[in-house]
Amino acid sequence: MAQANLHIDLDAVVSNWRALDAQSGAATRTAAVVKADSYGLGAGRVAPALYQAGARDFFVALAEEGARLRPHLGEDARIFILGGHMAGDAGFLRDARLIPMLNSAEQAQRHLQAIPESPVGVQLDTGMNRLGMEAAEWQATAPQLMERGIELVMSHLACSDEPEHEMNAKQLAEFKRMTDGMGLNRSLAATGGILLGPDYHFDVTRPGIGLYGGRPFEEARHVATLSLPVIQTRVVQPGETVGYGNTWTAERETKIATLSAGYADGIHRVLSNITALYAGDTACPLRGRVSMDLLTVDVTDLDTVPDTLDLLGPHQGVDTLADLAGTIGYEILTSLGPRYARNYAEPTG
């Protein structure tokens, strides 16, 4: 089979969730952010594993994602929709019992007109200027919403992966200014915010990337292993070139393995000639350009060429690959395409 294998360690995901949960006090509920199909790893498997482990609050971006998630979770799971209530969402929200994080007075009116009996949350803007109500808008809208009950009020930090950044304290102060004394359940912290400490935890935390083994949760357990099958090998003589554009020339007799996956599978083309794949502990350099469906790898130094080489694994995690590609672990994960066979190791305890 030429289909590459993406192995996802659900025990590691659960253990990362527990470790992040342990960072906050017993009164703080630790949610799980499973938007974009659990950052590409498969919400249909990740979310139930976290539910089993005790997670009851889940966040996705779109109502459609929430509707797809609902059958995988127990009745008592809350599914929050970060995009709020968009036109056309009412049916999904009502039928799948989703909780839109209302981002504007306009969304609030849309909700109250269409499905006033359905629960709501509110997202506030505390300085990121991406989603959420501004202070004046919130002040004007809050009374009407509070009459019906607000499940959760939240905001999002712009710089929480930089603990020293002054923006964190600024947003914390603004969030308090907008919500103190209202008796509402509150949420401010994603993975980075959890690590900023108890001032940022409030009632619910919302980790995403930390569950999946990425920075800034440095102690995270490794989650995703990507193994690519070798289709064929050949010996290339000094002076011969490999791949499109002849960007790599052999300086010695070189054994090249051609592997089955490429930029169509989320292996960024910018990684051409700069990353390595692993055979066990041995790094094998990627030679030449990344093609749509194929990679060419230098396996000269291996005694035997294995059936597969790993692009992601314990020796090279999402952040290492992201650094090489000039991006972030989030983008590496969410780029992993639909062609991989996703295999899961179930939690052990």
Residue 36 Cα distances to 41, 42, 69, 217, angstroms = 9, 9, 11, 20
Least distance (Å) from ligand PLP to the CB of residue 57? 11
Which lies closer to ligand PLP via its Cβ, residue 132 or residue 229? 132
Select 85 or 156, whichever has its Cβ closest to ligand PLP.
156
**Residue 327 CA neighbour count, 13 Å, CB half:** 17
**Residue given tokens 């359940």 in the structure block:** 185
Residues in Cβ contact with 213 at an 8 Å cutoff, skipping those fewer than 6 apart = 12, 16, 220, 221, 222, 223, 224, 317, 318, 329
Known catalytic residue at 263: no
Q: Tokens representing 287?
A: 């030679």
| DSSP 3-state of 299 | coil
Nearer to ligand PLP, 103 or 254 (CB): 103
Please state the closest distance from residue 256 (CB atom) to ligand PLP, in A.
Answer: 37
- Whole-number Å distance between alpha carbons of 128 and 171: 8
Q: Is 133 annotated as a binding residue?
A: no
Say which of 35, 39, 212, 344 is annotated catalytic.
35
Q: DSSP 3-state assignment of 115? A: coil
- Take residue 22 and report the two structure tokens written for it: 């342990």
| Local structure of residue 200 (DSSP, 8 states) | G
Q: Which residue is nearest to ligand PLP (CB)?
A: 208
Query: Which of residues 121 and 207 has its CB atom nearest to ligand PLP in the complex?
Result: 207
CB of 127 to ligand PLP, least distance (A): 13
Which residues are near ligand PLP by CB under 6 A?
33, 82, 156, 190-192, 206-210
Does 70 show up as a binding residue in the annotation?
no
Active-site residue, from 51, 170, 176, 244: 244
Look up 244 and say whether it is catalytic: yes
Pick 48 or 208: Cβ nearer ligand PLP: 208
Kindly state the smallest distance separating residue 33's Cβ from ligand PLP, in Å: 4
- The DSSP string of 34-70 is -HHHHHTT-HHHHHHHHHHHT--EEEESSHHHHHHHG
* Least distance to ligand PLP, CB of residue 134, Å: 16
Q: Which stretches does DSSP call E strand in the chain?
A: 5-9, 29-30, 32-33, 57-60, 78-81, 98-102, 120-123, 150-154, 186-187, 204-205, 224-236, 241-242, 248-249, 254-260, 276-279, 282-285, 294-298, 308-312, 341-345
Binding-site residue numbers for substrate are 130, 292
Binding-site residue numbers are 130, 292
The residues that are catalytic are 35, 244
